[in-house]
Amino acid sequence: MLFTELRFFAFYAIVFALYWVLRQQRQRVLVLTIASFIFYGAWDWRFLGLILFVIGVAYIAQRALLHEALQTKRRWIIGLAVGLMLTTLGVFKYFDFFADSLVALLQTLGIPVSQPLVQIILPVGISFFTFQAIGYVVDVARKEFDEPEDLLSVAFFIAFFPQLVAGPIVRALDFFPQIKDKKLLRDVPWSGVIVMFAGGFFKKAVIADNLARFYVDPVFAEPGAYTNEAIILGVFAYAAQIYCDFSGYSDMAIAVSRSFGFQLPVNFKAPYFSTSITVFWRRWHISLSHWLRDYLYISLGGNRGGNVKTYRNLMLTMVLGGLWHGASWNFLFWGYIHGAILTIERLFNIPRLSEKNSILRLLFGALTFYLVCIAWVFFRSANFEVSTFMVSSMLGGKNSGSMTFSAVDWGLMAGLLGLHYLVFRFKIGMRIASWPAPIVAALAGLWIAILLPLIPNEAQPFIYFQF
């Protein structure tokens, strides 16, 4: 077991014990809020000021909005609050990207400039808690709340540690009522919590990390050494890795939150069985998809104003969604690919066409998966040169590489997809979650003990921690 994982389990056990010893809800929320700051400070204590700043802006803005009736002043308040939070995100996440891009452009034009001396460290999880805070302020501005929340509740909502660094992104309208709902604390489904956490741990520590070790990292590090077929398998492996890595974290975050009596939204629903990119985004990183729809796409105008504006808003939403994932041209292009396909699907009504019969569902499902994998190449690759080479190889381009993978490796990929389908189709986890909690806990302990030898010695960080 990795040392970092042991530290987290020890931290969780202490917080869990303190939480359930206390009887007053206010005291419990205070304990979880303090624990959340300790959790975030453990990554780098210097960035505690950053999350406190975002909390302060959200708290002041919501009180100001709820006490101001004049629409002009309300627009100023929302503009200032969102502007401050986006500026904070922009400085920490995008300063280096735009500075390096400007230097490269000027050098191309023959203007002698040097690289900036300042290099800004990216705080872990900054995109998640900033987006969550912005969503709350916008909901208040849209008059979704009648009364202001106190500072402790706002801090708890933004800093809640299970989903602080990698989501799911939680809506204030869903979360704040839970802080006051004591019924949730009495009705914790302990068997379901154990099953979800054990399943998420398995997806991350065993499947995702081993796929990265044996297939993904070697292929993406030196794609020119591999055959076209091997590159395709490496990309398929990355598709499985990023799903198991991120959905595994989401499952564990949901389980840990539920053990404290709080419900987080489901973040994945078998996305690789989608029959169109439109359906894929209804099943992949659902909390981000909803956030982009509710706070960006609709704010841009949504589908109001005719088809041309709708397609423009769709493209802008996906390109900015790509930029949200990372400060590089690769992420921008990844968002552009998805935006372009979504636009084409909307233009020709592909989602409805793909569901007409089982043959079309199978064909469109395979095509959708391959298109998603092609886009993943830009998401994972270090630069455009590597991306274009790998995509060319996936489409049958010339390649002098000789290294390949065996039929066993291809069987493993097919087996993973089949296993996921069986678990999803027959709801195996839900069936086990109906068993008595002591039996489920004993089985989970045995399950994790069996898995320990399969966990790589070198930890693979969660992919979405970098966003």
Q: Counting every residue, how long is the chain? A: 467
CA distance 160 to 51: 11
- Which residue type sits at 180? K
Token pair 């088809």 is found at 307
Catalytic: 67? no
Among residues 67, 285, 290, 325, which one is catalytic? 325
Q: Taking phi first (over 0 means left), then psi (-120 to 50 degrees means alpha), and beta for anything else, what does residue 167 get? A: left
Positions annotated as catalytic residues are 325
